Each structure stands twice: as C-alpha cells, then as structure tokens.
Amino acid sequence: RLIVNFVLCLICFIAYSSQIFIIWPWYGGVLSVELLTLLLPFNVLVLILLWNYWLCVVTDPGRVPDSWKPDTHMDGYEVKKLTGGPRYCRMCQNYKPPRTHHCRDCNRCVLRMDHHCPWINNCIGHFNHGHFIRFLFYVDLSCSYHIAMVTRRVFSSMNGHYWDEPSSSELVMIILNYVACVPVLVVVGGFSLYHFYSLMANTTTIEGWEKDKAATMVRRGQVREIKFPYDLGARRNIESILGSRPLFWCWPSRTPGNGLRYELS
C-alpha cells in the first residue's frame, strides 16, 4: 500500500505541480480561453488515468469457484504434462481453469494471470487486465502531453523577452518535472510496447515465457512446433480484453467472459 500511495503521489506531482508552478505563472495567473484549451485535455487524460489506476488496484483479477471442475469431454481444458490429467493446484486444493496460475504473493489462483504487479498491490488477471492496458496507454499519453507542455514553456523563455524568463522557483519546478516525467515515460513506454504486443497476440506475460521456452525446445529438436491455441487474430485478440466495440476500448469497461473458458483458434 505504501507503493500504491507513492505512485499516486508521483502522478499527482507530475500532473499538478506543472500546472500550478509552471503553466499558471506563464499565463500571468489569469484564467483565459487559451489556458483552458491547453490544460483541459491534459486534466481529462489525468482523470481517466487515475480512474483506470484505481480500477487496477480495487478490481479482483478473478478467483476460481470452489466447486469448479473441468469438463474433460470438451476442448479447451489444460492437462499436466506428466500425468495427462487436469491441472490441479495443491496450494488451493482446487482444479485450475485454462490460463490460471497460482500467485504466491496473493496466495491464491488467479484467472488468466498475467503477472503480480507491486505497483498496484494486485495481480493482473482476467477482470482487471483491460484496466491495466488502458492505464499504461493513458500514462503514455499524459506524460507525452506533459513534456510537450513544459517544453513549450521552456522554448518560450528562449525568445529573448525578459517577461518570459522563468523565475528561480519556476526553473526548479521545470527541472523537477523533467526529472520525474521523462524516466516514467521511458520505462512505462517500453513496458507498454511489450503489453500492447502481448494484447494483439492474446498472450499473457507467463504465456510469453512459456512460448519462448517452447520455441527454444523446437529449435533444439526436443519437441514439435505447437500452435498457440488462443491466438484468434489481432482484432479478435484485442476484443477479448477490451470488448467488441472499438469506440469504447479506451473507456473503462468489464472484460468479456467469466475467465473460466476461452475461445480456441
């Protein structure tokens, strides 16, 4: 929870210190249409970012029902490699639905587990994966807008007019905002590219590791090449997480399905 509060403080510092101590003095502390045109889109992005972050934190990623058992007469249930029987969690004393894994941090099985994220103090699973993808997307957009906004202020001070020169406190805040925002954009941006690629391939982080391991075994001739069963094509892969209506992909919404069964390719 300390980490979650740290993330919230970091977001709020980047979002609001830039407006209060850099942009507002730049416009002379006077509310104007030009100022609102600049700041309103930024604040909308920040608001949706915080909303998706909150949903990532509080949404249960998905629990296995106590009485759940796999239907061994239908396609799509996963088996243990050694025994050929349905996957079973000895820690939870329950069967595992497809794509489910046990999280040691949460001490339970998570539906369609992607990974445990300490930055949200929660697992990324079936029911909050869409919120996590949207959170990354809005972090990238907000940070890019922030850097462009602050950089515009810096360039305006280089035109030679004394009234545009930033004060000492403004200069300190400009430096602090760059120090806080640029590393976030670089790190989260790289992280986002990986997860956007995984979204289009309908692959979780754990399944990505398994696919890499399987590809290595294929190259060594240890196993035959196996097709990943959940890749439905880029459009349908995205729809399986963000919903079937593209206009609402960027809006917080519930992930389709119940997390116990998935369509096969």
Task: Please identify every residue annotated as catalytic.
Answer: 117
Q: Which of 49, 62, 260, 75 is nearest to 142 (CA)?
A: 49
CB 143, CB 184: distance < 8 Å? yes
- DSSP for 201-252? HT--HHHHHHHHHHHHHHHTTSS-----TT---HHHHHHHHH-S-GGGTTS-
CA angle 83, 88, 89 (to 5 degrees): 135
**100: CB partners within 8 A, 6+ apart:** 64, 87, 109, 110, 111, 112, 113, 259
AA letter at 219: R
Q: How far apart are CA 66 and CA 56, in angstroms?
A: 24
